[in-house]
Structure 1
Amino acid sequence: MHRNLFTSGARIALAGAACVLLWTACRKDNKGSQPTPSGIDTTSKPASAYEDSLKYLTYQIMQVSYADGGRNASAGLPTYYWYSQVPALNPLDTKYANADSLLSVMKSYAINPATTQPYDHYSFLDRNGVLTNKLMNGISAQTFAATNNGDYGLDYGVALDNSNNARIFILYADKNGPAGQIGVTRGWEIISVNGNSNISTSQPFLQSLYNAIFNSTSVTLGFKRPDGSTITKTLTTTSYSINPVVFDTVFTVIDKNNIAKKVGYFSMYTFSSIINSNGQDTYTRTVLDQLFAKFASQGINNLVVDFRYNGGGAVSTAEYLDNAIAPPAAAGQLMYNTIFNDKLMAHISEVNLTTTTKFAAATSKLNLDNVFFITTGNTASASELTLNNLKPYMPVKLVGSKTYGKPVGFIDFNISVYDQNHNKKYLADLYAINFETKNANGVGGYFTGINVDAPANDYVDVAWGNTQKDANLIAIVNYLTTGSYTSGARVASTELSDLRQAIPSLKPVNGFNGMVDYERSRIIRASH
């Protein structure tokens, strides 16, 4: 009865858009044949008609049926994880100014009793496709808006020094991006923005800084390097293959038994997919293959994975990392379970989806005593999934601060409409929560974050991998050498007065927090 209920984004758009643009002739109780796009002049429709299409389809996909435009509710399956807690709504009601406001209302109904706040502060619409192309294909520029030519490949943090003066530091820079190509990296200080060297915490300055970095195609930045030298460079946005590994190294410590141990360390800022939309390996896959081959060849005994700025991304990359880190005993065992809403779970085999993911038949070539994860409140979703999946099989230790808290994820839906010539007009990618994950021990539900084993502050003027100044690495080295994170009493200490801690409130929210299962999206499309 429920076969072929999943469908491609194109068919979703075809069914729904016809109903919206001619919605008075395509009511939900209409049992006749559905209108086709032939002869529908969407090119002459005002922008509001396209927004109505987007509102309608967002609601249908999440709450009613995403296979037939919602015409037959009894035959469709909602995709939203918390669909049962959302009352029946009219998506075309004028009180919803746009699809985003409708989505905001839908997100407000499922309440977490532990916090008395909505579970869902995650779902959103990507209206230009930037995120989809970045995460799925590992390319910084997106495909739907020709005006977007990529980015600068960097992120920054605003900090306060001991005199309460604002300072701007680079948090990370992609090696392949415009900033990384000229050597910009963590610990460089921005001392001027388009000629303005009056750095402050005033809202006008902070907003102009944000716009200059994230909403422009060219910016001139003055930098001070850690050695005190300065340069001024003009950066232009460009498209590039994402390299998620911003730094890696191997160092040696003498453990508490006076034995030399090699420690592998890498920092990864995003989970761009290891497989692109055509099923081919991405640059991300190449980089990770080389990284773990290096660690294996050098015989590391412990691994430090730095996720302090990693908001997640593709589930396939989380699975790759788990297979690369897990001990041989995990081979072929359950990695994690995926739980959909009750209606999908009742028909899971009929819609060609699975609920279990196992470790590969052959896992890591590493022989690790411990794996340490450096985390902060920016560590989210696919990053949390990665470390949570490993806990049943090996010693996993967290250093830094509590993670973001997102044990749920997305299957993306591309929403488009058609003109009279059957040309598709892209509207948005819908990222609404579709599933929850739990590890082999049934542990999940960390909506308020995952606690750390050892607290340590993130000081942003310290270079990657600095075991003398990075409070996180100091704690880890202390543990390996003495068995105590706090030996030496220097973790997060004010005596490290030359370091400055980033203040998140001084920067508008930027970036993505989530995990997207593009593989299950491919399964859905391939089955139709």
Structure 2
Amino acid sequence: MTRNSFTRPALLFALSGALLLTSCKKNNDVNPATGSTGTSVTSPTSTSQGVNDWILANMQYYYLWNDKIPANPDKTLGPKEFFNSLLYDITNTANVNRDRFSWIRESAEELKASLGGQSKTTGIQYRLYYKDQSKTNLIGSVLYVLPGSPAVAAGFKRGDIFTSVNGQILTLSNYAELLAADALTFGMASLVNGVLTENVQKRQVTPVVFQEDPVLLDTTYTIGGKTVGYVVYNQFIPGVYNGSSTDKTFDNKLDNIFSKFKQKGVNELVLDLRYNPGGYVSSSTNLASLIGRNIDASKVFYAQQWNATVTADNDKKYGSGWNTQKFSAKAANIGGNLSRLFVLTSNSTASASELIINGLRPFMTVTTIGTTTVGKNVGSITISDDTGQIKWGMQPLTFRSANAQGFSDYATGFAPTVEVKEPSTGMKPFGDLTEPLLSEAIYQISGTRTTTRRGVANAAVLVDVASSIDQKAGGGNMFLEKSGELLK
């Protein structure tokens, strides 16, 4: 295939953590020229051999570790297995800088839609835990429910607990298949005096193709002479997916929210990113530009560090600065009223969310509350075949990100400034001032506790197994690492 046969990739902060499309037009113009061997990229065919040739040519040019690709990879493998065979040090859990986040999907169209927040879903976002110390059965705890989704109509809400699906108790071996069914009947449970109790209640939900609105809640509080803004933001999506990233509905929604914050004199901000695995870099830049103190369109939000091949080509084509993303000038920016930012985090906070933390720290104090983030300091691009001959789409890592001070070393995640563990069950609604993470943020702001003790930092928390957040496109970890094992 010629270089023009590839779609112009949009840059993403790759997934477990999540994926982020860049708004930088220069980077969107990057096209493959030759592989690292100097051979021309060939025309694709729909056979596995043809798909693998297409995968290899792109990886040899774009992949962050293109100098680590095996010299003679096994092209007899299926495309997914072949792609994985090219990834750098993927199974070496001792190497925190290995490739944990590149991924491939059989349908490029489904990949693009999921990055835009559109997927087939019940609307339930959940986390699975071992039910008890025997580590035999699992329970599911509902983290949040997408407004307007089938789950809302079925009566689901944050904090609900389920133990079975379609009549089968959840276990480590069956949960993936059961939760992917075309129709689901959930067996519910409840906490009675702190004891998990099965009940006879069943809830039926049928997944549908659904567009997520990433802004789950925004509100303000007046506490101790402070006006506190609070936003729950669950994925960096610019707008309603329509086959491209041109719609800006959700970016505009955030602009309007911050415009209201500015009118109300908000002088403290709590940004809830605990379930945000990442998304479009353009939306991350937009949000950071609404928050940053003493920033303008001349200040650097973050920079990309590509492989030597792409860097040399783009240096010649664009000159210096092509890999630097600056803040945007925003009329709704409230940074002039802020001296600090509070970010609520968890082990599902990744990618574009971590970019907010890292990118704003050179300009203001960023206090994180919760648990350690994923550690996704790398980005990726969406690559697909615009001739239509190859249906696959892939999301290989292509760059590291660094803030205005050049800091990029957060592959182990951002440890919380204040550790507060969210309870496994019995979670309070978002915006409730007694909800542990928000409560701690209010205490840090006002010095007044809204609960009798500090969060649940020392409370017993069940051992988590997996989360639907991690399976979102651009999610925190397509490879769930538990007990040193890699689980698809």
TM-score range, shorter chain: 0.7 to 0.9
Q: Is the 8 A contact 2:286 2:328 kept in 1?
A: no
Q: Is the 8 A contact 2:73 2:85 kept in 1?
A: no
* Consecutive unaligned residues in structure 2, runs of 5 or more: 10-36, 477-488
Cα deviation for residue 56 of structure 1 reads 1.3
Q: Is the 8 A contact 2:295 2:327 kept in 1?
A: no
What SS does the aligned partner of 2:391 have? Answer: strand
Any idea what the Cα deviations from partners look like across 1:12-66, whole Å, max 9, x if unmatched?
9xxxxxxxxxxxxxxx9999xx9978xxxx7xxxxxx622222111111111xxx
User: Matched residues in 2 for 1:445 and 1:388: separation?
Assistant: 10
Q: Is the 8 A contact 2:90 2:100 kept in 1?
A: no
User: Matched residues in 2 for 1:30 and 1:343: separation?
Assistant: 14
Task: Say yes or no: does 1:106 pair with 2:74.
Answer: no
Distance 1:493 1:376, change over 3 A: closer
Q: Is the 8 A contact 2:145 2:158 kept in 1?
A: yes
User: Matched residues in 2 for 1:292 and 1:305: separation?
Assistant: 12
What one-letter code is carried by the residue in structure 1 that aligns with 2:99? D
Bigger shift: residues 447-456 or 237-246: 237-246
Any idea what the Cα deviations from partners look like across 1:230-254, whole Å, max 9, x if unmatched?
9644222222322012233322321
| Correspondence list, 1:492-503, <5 A | 492-493=456-457, 501-503=461-463
User: Matched residues in 2 for 1:36 and 1:119: separation?
Assistant: 31
Task: Say yes or no: does 1:429 pair with 2:393.
Answer: yes
Any idea what the Cα deviations from partners look like across 1:62-88, whole Å, max 9, x if unmatched?
11xxxxxxxxxxxxxx11111123342
What SS does the aligned partner of 2:226 have? Answer: strand
Task: Say yes or no: does 1:81 pair with 2:42.
Answer: no
What SS does the aligned partner of 1:263 have? Answer: strand
User: Matched residues in 1 for 2:150 and 2:257: separation?
Assistant: 22
What SS does the aligned partner of 1:465 have? Answer: coil
Report the counterpart of residue 4 of structure 2 in structure 1: 7
What SS does the aligned partner of 2:257 have? Answer: helix
Report the counterpart of residue 34 of structure 2 in structure 1: none
Q: Is the 8 A contact 1:323 1:359 kept in 2?
A: yes
Distance 1:61 1:471, change over 3 A: same
Distance 1:281 1:183, change over 3 A: farther
Cα deviation for residue 318 of structure 1 reads 0.8
Distance 1:224 1:262, change over 3 A: farther
What one-letter code is carried by the residue in structure 2 that aligns with 1:406? K
User: Matched residues in 2 for 1:234 and 1:110: separation?
Assistant: 39
Task: Say yes or no: does 1:133 pair with 2:113.
Answer: yes
Q: Is the 8 A contact 1:312 1:383 kept in 2?
A: yes
What one-letter code is carried by the residue in structure 2 that aligns with 1:177? S
User: Matched residues in 1 for 2:220 and 2:139: separation?
Assistant: 31
Identity value in percent? 25
Report the counterpart of residue 301 of structure 1 in structure 2: 267
Distance 1:396 1:8, change over 3 A: farther
Cα deviation for residue 381 of structure 1 reads 1.0
Of residues 356, 359, 362, the one that matches 2:324 is: 356
Equivalent residues, number: 434
Distance 1:190 1:313, change over 3 A: same
Cα deviation for residue 225 of structure 1 reads 8.4
Cα deviation for residue 312 of structure 1 reads 0.9
What one-letter code is carried by the residue in structure 2 that aligns with 1:365? N
Q: Is the 8 A contact 2:65 2:88 kept in 1?
A: no
Higher RCO, 1 vs 2 (CA within 8 Å, ≥6 residues apart):
2
Q: Is the 8 A contact 2:303 2:324 kept in 1?
A: yes
Report the counterpart of residue 472 of structure 2 in structure 1: 511
User: Matched residues in 1 for 2:304 and 2:8: separation?
Assistant: 26
User: Matched residues in 2 for 1:35 and 1:311: separation?
Assistant: 35
What one-letter code is carried by the residue in structure 2 that aligns with 1:504? D
Report the counterpart of residue 248 of structure 1 in structure 2: 218
| Correspondence list, 1:263-412, <5 A | 263-274=228-239, 277-278=243-244, 280-351=246-317, 354-362=322-330, 364-366=332-334, 367-412=337-382
Report the counterpart of residue 125 of structure 2 in structure 1: 155
Cα deviation for residue 109 of structure 1 reads 4.5
What SS does the aligned partner of 1:446 have? Answer: coil
Cα RMSD, aligned residues only: 3.8
Cα deviation for residue 331 of structure 1 reads 4.5
Report the counterpart of residue 447 of structure 2 in structure 1: 482
Distance 1:219 1:365, change over 3 A: same
Distance 1:291 1:188, change over 3 A: farther
Distance 1:116 1:203, change over 3 A: closer
Of residues 452, 455, 459, the one that matches 1:491 is: 455
User: Matched residues in 2 for 1:478 and 1:247: separation?
Assistant: 20
Distance 1:117 1:169, change over 3 A: closer
Q: Is the 8 A contact 2:131 2:462 kept in 1?
A: no
User: Matched residues in 2 for 1:350 and 1:238: separation?
Assistant: 47
User: Matched residues in 1 for 2:315 and 2:213: separation?
Assistant: 36
User: Matched residues in 2 for 1:122 and 1:401: separation?
Assistant: 20
Cα deviation for residue 398 of structure 1 reads 0.6
Distance 1:9 1:470, change over 3 A: same
Task: Say yes or no: does 1:185 pair with 2:157.
Answer: yes
Task: From the CA coordinates, give the structure whose radius of gyration is larger.
Answer: 1
Report the counterpart of residue 465 of structure 1 in structure 2: 430
User: Matched residues in 1 for 2:341 and 2:248: separation?
Assistant: 26
Any idea what the Cα deviations from partners look like across 1:131-189, whole Å, max 9, x if unmatched?
321224x433xxxxxxxxx2112221234679989542211222132223555332122
User: Matched residues in 1 for 2:222 and 2:390: separation?
Assistant: 52
User: Matched residues in 2 for 1:471 and 1:11: separation?
Assistant: 44
Q: Is the 8 A contact 2:130 2:464 kept in 1?
A: no
User: Matched residues in 2 for 1:394 and 1:91: separation?
Assistant: 49
Distance 1:51 1:111, change over 3 A: closer
User: Matched residues in 1 for 2:411 and 2:378: separation?
Assistant: 9
Q: Is the 8 A contact 1:382 1:514 kept in 2?
A: no
User: Matched residues in 1 for 2:73 and 2:265: separation?
Assistant: 60
What SS does the aligned partner of 2:314 have? Answer: coil
Report the counterpart of residue 66 of structure 1 in structure 2: none
Report the counterpart of residue 73 of structure 1 in structure 2: none
User: Matched residues in 2 for 1:36 and 1:480: separation?
Assistant: 59
What SS does the aligned partner of 1:132 have? Answer: helix
What one-letter code is carried by the residue in structure 1 that aligns with 2:472? G
